[in-house]
Structure formats: C-alpha cells, structure tokens
Structure 1
Amino acid sequence: MQLDFTSLDPAESYRWLASTVTPRPIAWVSTVSAAGVSNLAPYSFFQVVCDEPPTLMLSVGRQPDGRLKDTLVNARDTGQLIIHLVSAELAETMNATAATLPHDVSEIEQLGLDTVPGDRVTVPRFGAAPVAFECEVAEIKPYPVQDPRHFLIFARVLLAHVDDAVLADARHVDPGKLDLVGRLSGPWYATTHDRFGMTRPP
C-alpha cells in the first residue's frame, strides 16, 4: 500500500500519521490566560528537541472552527507554561481535560483538581503528575508559514519536579515506577509496562 500525502485531505493525513507514529508521549500543559483563567490540556505532538538549552516542543493545532486553542493563546500572551507527564493512574483525568470548554472556564476548576503554584512561573502545577517541567516560551513558529494549521511552541525548561517515588537512584528514573502512557490513535493508549533493554554498540 502506498499513500500519496500530496493528494490527501488534512483529516486523512492526520488519521494516517497519528495511527502510525506511535506511541507518542503526552504533554499535559497548564497555562494561565492574561485574564487569570487557568487551563490544562493534553497534546501528543510533543517531544524533547534540545538539551542545551534544555527545550521541549509541542505542536498545537487550531480548533475545528479555525480559532486558536487556549494553550497557544495563553503561552503566547504570558510566555509561560508547565508541561506535565501522564502516568497510567492519571490517564482518565488527563482524558477529561481534553474536553472543549469555553475560553473563560478552567479545566482545573471544573474537575476540582488540586494544584500548587509554580516556583519559577506563575502557572499552577498539577501536583499529582510524576514529572512536571516549568517552562518559558523560547519561540512560537507557525507552520506552514503561509497558512498556519499548527503552531510549534519551543519551551525552555527552567525547573523540573520529579516525584521521589519514581526514582531508581539520585540520577535516574525507574521507567516502571514512572509508568507513563503514550498516545496511539482513536481512543487507544499504550502503557510502558512491557519493556526490554539493549546495549548500544560502541
């Protein structure tokens, strides 16, 4: 089977890309609007892009009606965000925050989630997440430039919160204790329960 992506419509392109490039890590992003309304939403077009400076990247698409999503608007307006990682026990809560709410309604308040203030940013942190990265916006790039459908947010990591319960030792995380979930396609997710190790060649 061959797929000619130059002739696929965006919905078909998304379906094939999102169902084959799997599993994808999930960025669970908290932001605050200029008016002070908090937001928490998951994104699976997400990855580490640089270690010096330490930088994460997420791609935020538009709403189906073309409007910009709250995460993008808030990050653009305030220059701050916190990216949380999603453990298996938090998967259902993460999924609940994917609901589309009015701009002036907070997912955090709607779901009654317990948060703590950020240390380096004025954004609430969801304390139950096993890892959370407090970030400042380094750059936002519209893509494609001529008619942007997505916006790449490059987020420089200022401070990380790592739950002691997921550590293997002082310098390493135990992936079994971290127990993250990854995004597949449609309603499907994957756990990291089934793992294997390999030694890299010299």
Structure 2
Amino acid sequence: MRTEFSTAALEPGAVYRLLTATVVPRPIAWVSTVSADGVDNLAPHSFFTVSSVRPPVVQFTSVGRKDSLRNVEATGEFVVNLAPESLMDEVNRTATEFPHGVSEFDAVGVAREAAARVKASRVARSPVALECELHSTLRLGDSTVVFGRVVHIAVDDGVLADGHPEVTRLRPLARLGKDEWSTLGEVRELRRIRYTDRPASG
C-alpha cells in the first residue's frame, strides 16, 4: 500500500517538504559571493550538482531571490566551498536570514581568504573551493538555477591522496529532510560492470 499525493492539490510548503525528504542526501554548495558594494555573502544551498565537465560547469538553485543570486547577477562570479563536517555549525548559522548588507563571514566568524581568479572570498577552512564565473541562469517558478563555469579549483593538500581528493578526508556534509543533516558514514566501492564483462543470464 502507498499514500498517494497530487502535487496540484498540495500547498507549496508540503511539496517542498516531500521533495527534500525524498531527494536525499543532497550535497551542499556553500556559496560565497560579493555584492557590487563590496560586501561578502556566504550561504548554503542544497540544490546543487555538477552540470557539465566540458566545459566544467556546476549549478546551484536559489529558492526565491536571495543575496547569493543578487550578487552573482551583479558581479558574474561566485565560489562554491565544500561544506565539511568540521564546520557544520558554521554552515548552519550562515543559513540565517541576515539583513541585506550584513556579511555572514563576519556575523558567524568564518575565516576568509582571497580567491585566485574571482573577487568573491573563499572559506579559508573549506578543503575545496570551486571558483566560478557565471555561465547562465534559468528561472523556474519561484526559483533560479545558477550555472557557473569553474575557472579555478583549490584543494587543501591534506585531503589529497595520490593527487586526488579522498572522500574520507573531505568529510562532506549533506542535507536531508526537515532539520536533518547527514555526515559521510560508510563508504563502499562498487565498480561499474562493462557490457562485455556482464555475467551471462541464466
């Protein structure tokens, strides 16, 4: 037996709660931007993924018109900082709706460092920073999908193994439903089976 839901019959908040509780876990883009007036902004966005490799493009979604979106539209740049387990409290506190013009870096006490290619600051203690130039935006209802071309990647040497980021060192956070978060947990390796190597069917 299943409980059936018609999205047309539900109010938007109920749809949001259903979707965010079932599309899990969601990686977090801890997006840093700078306004046209030079004020740093830092906010987590859990609608986030890789869009393309050639060219390298990542995307995050702004639900509503938030400072992250306004700043990206004004400057054409942003940084996606990996949200690690060690900074969980700071990530959560930067989700607070601070008044416009208040820097979450300063309000929460998050150390910043200069980026290599863009004006937005990087989170100094984040193990990976993806510096992005705006590729395009796509408006979908009450949300805007932001596509950023990755122009520079900075990775902390401490999370590299043989030159490659090691997930057990990255310790990424993920968002679940309601006020639930997820940490890395068990990591299992399972290689993809090539068509020519597939077992014969019975």
Length-normalised TM-score, structure 1: 0.92
Alignment of 1:98-137 (within 5 A): 98-137=95-134
User: What is the SS of the residue equivalent to 1:57?
Assistant: strand
CA deviations 1:111-144 (Å, max 9, x no partner) are 232111111001111110011100001001111x
Select which of 148, 152, 157 maps to 1:155: 148
Shift of 1:54: 0.3
Runs of at least 5 residues in structure 1 that lack an aligned partner in the other structure: 63-67
Please tell me whether residue 41 in structure 1 is matched to residue 43 in structure 2. Answer: yes
Distance in structure 2 (CA, Å) of the matches to 1:40 and 1:27: 10
Deviates more, 1:134-143 or 1:2-11: 2-11
Structure 2 unpaired stretches of 5+: 195-202
Q: Cα offset for 1:6?
A: 2.3
CA positional deviation for 1:7: 1.9
- Aligned pair count? 192
Runs of 4 or more, structure 1, over 6 Å off, are: none
| Structure 2 counterpart SS, 1:142 | strand
Q: What is the DSSP-based 3-state SS (H/G/I as helix, E as strand, rest coil) of the residue aligned with 1:165?
A: helix
Q: CA offsets per residue over residues 49-101 of structure 1, 9 Å max, x none?
A: 11011000111011xxxxx2100000000000000111110111100101111
- Aligned-pair RMSD on alpha carbons? 0.9
Q: 2:175 aligns with which of 183, 186, 189?
A: 183
Question: Matches of residues 4-23 of structure 1 in structure 2 within 5 Å?
Answer: 4-23=6-25
Letter in 1 for 2:162: D
Confirm or deny: 8 A CA contact 2:90 2:110 kept in the other structure: no
